């Protein structure tokens, strides 16, 4: 379904909060149709901008602690972290051009 | 050049695709990049689509329709239509990837979009407790108290679904009588977790980062009160999605695309419309599917009526 690697409650701190590069976390779940729809688009963005931004995914069912910490109440939600802080939140499945516009500051 | 391009991939779009493909029209379905399959992708059990006595999951039903269309040669493109030129004998459809597709006939089956309440902070708290999709977001409301706004089938369905997770679900409806079908009403009324609040409208939604409550106004007495909820699910209907054809196709006073009588014919030759985008009344999966069939047959007849040289052009193309 997606080529992005998974992060978990256990490795969130090292993988995401400790990342040198801006890193986008895709909060998703198996049962979420729009998540499945947007997943290949995030993969494309990740591969086209791999030098600028990392893209990982977090399954909210398997990792409730992190989902709760970041107050996820709707998925898909994409959060960009830089230096351990959330610097951008994008909500909902959107077409690629719309997502690229939302993320422009990190892709340029 | 295509014989027919179908815009939309809900029950109307895919049914049109099945019929057009079986008529050897080699249809292209522009399915949308993230909303393919339409509204049913966000539902769970569909119990009123004929042929499935045990019900079927919405996404599964749409996948089956897609496969059926593809089996006969329909081509599905996961992209969005950015603009159209529908006048004239050759229609132009511009896509999100920058391509432009030409077609002799177009079927517009763009469906509808969820209606908003239009109250302050609704947009700001969207995704932070305000939702239009219980099946997408319901699981985040375990042991919480939530409200569903609306009185139709979708409100009943959302509320019933939410009881899987939430401790309590209010259904807030502006009048005393529900529009929902008897079986859906009964299911909601029999549910211990569901409480109805009639004759009330939602005037405000409160919350700094997340929804903490909503402000209700009694439509009879005018009395105001606050209800503490963590989530508000809005199910007050939808509006036809016509922005891509604005200024080209005539609309009705309901905002749907105007079609001639029982046909799918719009004001432009060779342009047909089907499904929720022409239907202010019924908006069911099965009526949309029937409407998609009508559009494909109308398009087929239109293509057959074209001068022979134009018809011949596509066989060599």
CATH number of B130-234: 3.50.50.60
pLDDT, one tens digit per residue, over B134-169 is 988 999 999 999 999 999 999 999 999 999 999 999
Burial (Cβ within 10 Å: 0-12, 13-18, ≥19) of residue B106: buried
pLDDT of residue A2: 60
Instruction: Tell me how close the Cα of A19 comes to any Cα of chain B, in angstroms.
Output: 26
For chain A, what is the domain count?
A: 1
Least Cα distance to B81 among B62, B59, B108 occurs for: B108
| Contact (CB, 8 A) for A28 and A59 | yes
Average pLDDT over residues A31-40: 89
By the CB < 8 Å criterion, does A64 face chain B?
Answer: no
pLDDT, one tens digit per residue, over A42-91 is 999 999 999 999 999 999 999 999 999 999 999 999 999 999 999 999 99
| Domain boundary assignment for chain B | 2-113+238-316, 130-234
Least Cα distance to B51 among B65, B31, B40, B39 occurs for: B65
Angle at which helices B182-189 and B153-162 pack, to 10 degrees? 30
- Told to judge if A35 belongs to the known catalytic residues of this protein, a careful annotator would answer yes
By the CB < 8 Å criterion, does A104 face chain B?
Answer: no
In Å, how far from its chain's centre is CA B258?
A: 17
Say whether A95 and B80 touch across the interface (CB within 8 A).
Answer: yes
Q: Which residues of chain A neighbour B140 with C-beta distances below 8 Å? A: 60, 67, 72-74
Q: Which of A33, A42, A70, A90 to mutate to test the interface with B (most CBs of B within 10 A)?
A: A33
Q: What is the mean pLDDT of chain A?
A: 93
All residues at 6 or more sequence positions from B184 whose CB lies less than 8 Å from its CB, including other chains: B153, B156, B157, B160
State how far the Cα of A25 lies from the Cα of B172, in Å rounded to an integer.
Answer: 35
B2-113+238-316 and B130-234: identical CATH topology: yes
CA distances B303 to B23, B264, B297, B300, B308, Å, are 11, 14, 10, 5, 10
Least Cα distance to A16 among A76, A73, A82, A62 occurs for: A82
Instruction: Tell me how close the Cα of B306 comes to any Cα of chain A, in angstroms.
Output: 36
CB pairs under 8 A between A and B: 62
pLDDT of residue B310: 55
Pull the structure tokens for residue B33.
Answer: 């990049």
| Contact (CB, 8 A) for A30 and A86 | no
Instruction: Tell me how close the Cα of B147 comes to any Cα of chain A, in angstroms.
Output: 15
| Residue segments in chain B with a per-residue pLDDT below the cut of 70 | 309-317
Pull the structure tokens for residue B46.
Answer: 């569909």
Domain enclosing residue A95, as ranges: 5-107
Of A29, A61, A74, the CB nearest to B127: A74
Q: Which residues of chain B neighbour A71 with C-beta distances below 8 Å? A: 128, 209-210
pTM of the model: 0.85
Q: Which of B31, B33, B131, B137 to mutate to test the interface with A (most CBs of A within 10 A)?
A: B33
| Contact (CB, 8 A) for B266 and B258 | yes
Tokens 């050759």 map to which residue? B90
Least Cα distance to B227 among B207, B245, B247 occurs for: B207
| CB atoms inside a 10 Å sphere around CB B22 | 16
pLDDT of A108 > 90? The answer is no
pLDDT of residue B316: 43
- pLDDT over 70, % of chain A: 98
Q: For the domain that residue A14 is a member of, what is the CATH number?
A: 3.40.30.10
Secondary structure of residue B126 in the 3-state scheme = strand
Catalytic (active-site) positions of B: 133, 136-137
pLDDT of residue B186: 96
Say whether B137 and A77 touch across the interface (CB within 8 A).
Answer: no
Least Cα distance to B278 among B115, B152, B108 occurs for: B108
Q: Is the link from the previous residue into B196 a cis peptide, with omega within 30 of 0?
A: no
Pick one of 3.50.50.60, 3.30.40.10, 3.40.50.970, 3.30.450.20 as the CATH number of B2-113+238-316.
3.50.50.60
pLDDT of A24 > 60? The answer is yes
Tokens 């493109």 map to which residue? B77
Pairing of strands A23-28, A77-82: antiparallel
By the CB < 8 Å criterion, does A92 face chain B?
Answer: yes
Instruction: Tell me how close the Cα of A23 comes to any Cα of chain B, in angstroms.
Output: 21
pLDDT of residue B309: 60
């Amino acid at each position: 379904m997606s080529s992005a690697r998974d992060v978990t409650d256990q490795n969130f701190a090292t993988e995401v909060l400790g990342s040198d590069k801006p890193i986008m976390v895709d909060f998703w779940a198996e049962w979420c149709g729009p998540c499945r729809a947007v997943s290949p688009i995030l993969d494309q963005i990740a591969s086209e901008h791999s030098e600028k931004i990392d893209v990982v995914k977090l399954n909210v069912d398997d990792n409730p602690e992190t989902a709760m910490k970041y107050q996820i109440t709707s998925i898909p939600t994409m959060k960009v972290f830089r230096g351990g802080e959330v610097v951008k939140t994008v909500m909902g499945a959107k077409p690629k051009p719309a997502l690229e516009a939302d993320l422009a500051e990190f892709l340029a | 050049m295509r014989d027919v391009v179908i815009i939309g991939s809900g029950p109307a779009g895919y049914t049109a695709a099945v019929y057009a493909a079986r008529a050897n029209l080699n249809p292209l379905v522009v399915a949308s990049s993230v909303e393919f399959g339409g509204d049913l992708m966000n539902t769970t059990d569909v119990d009123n689509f004929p042929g499935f006595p045990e019900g079927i999951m919405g996404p599964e039903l749409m996948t089956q329709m897609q496969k059926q269309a593809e089996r006969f040669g329909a081509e599905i493109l996961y992209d969005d239509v950015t603009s159209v030129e529908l006048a004239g004998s050759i229609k132009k459809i511009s896509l999100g990837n920058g391509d432009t597709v030409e077609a002799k006939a177009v079927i517009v089956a763009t469906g509808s979009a969820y209606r908003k309440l239009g109250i302050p902070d609704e947009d700001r708290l969207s995704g932070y407790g305000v939702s239009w999709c219980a099946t997408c977001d319901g699981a985040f409301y375990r042991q919480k108290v939530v409200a569903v706004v609306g009185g139709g089938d979708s409100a009943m369905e959302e509320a019933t679904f939410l009881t899987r997770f939430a401790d309590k679900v209010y259904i807030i409806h502006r009048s005393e009588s529900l529009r929902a079908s008897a079986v859906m009403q009964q299911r909601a009324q029999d549910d211990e977790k569901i409480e109805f609040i009639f004759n009330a409208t939602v005037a405000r939604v409160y919350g700094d980062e997340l929804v903490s409550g909503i402000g209700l106004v009694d439509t009879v007495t005018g009395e105001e009160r606050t209800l503490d909820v963590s989530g508000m699910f809005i199910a007050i209907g939808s509006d036809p999605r016509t922005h891509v054809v604005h200024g080209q196709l005539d609309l009705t006073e309901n905002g749907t695309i105007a079609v001639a009588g029982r046909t799918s014919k719009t004001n432009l030759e060779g342009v047909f419309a089907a499904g929720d985008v022409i239907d202010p009344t019924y908006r069911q999966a099965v009526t949309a599917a029937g409407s998609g069939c009508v559009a494909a047959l109308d398009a087929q007849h239109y293509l057959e009526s074209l001068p022979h040289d134009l018809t011949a052009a596509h066989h060599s193309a």
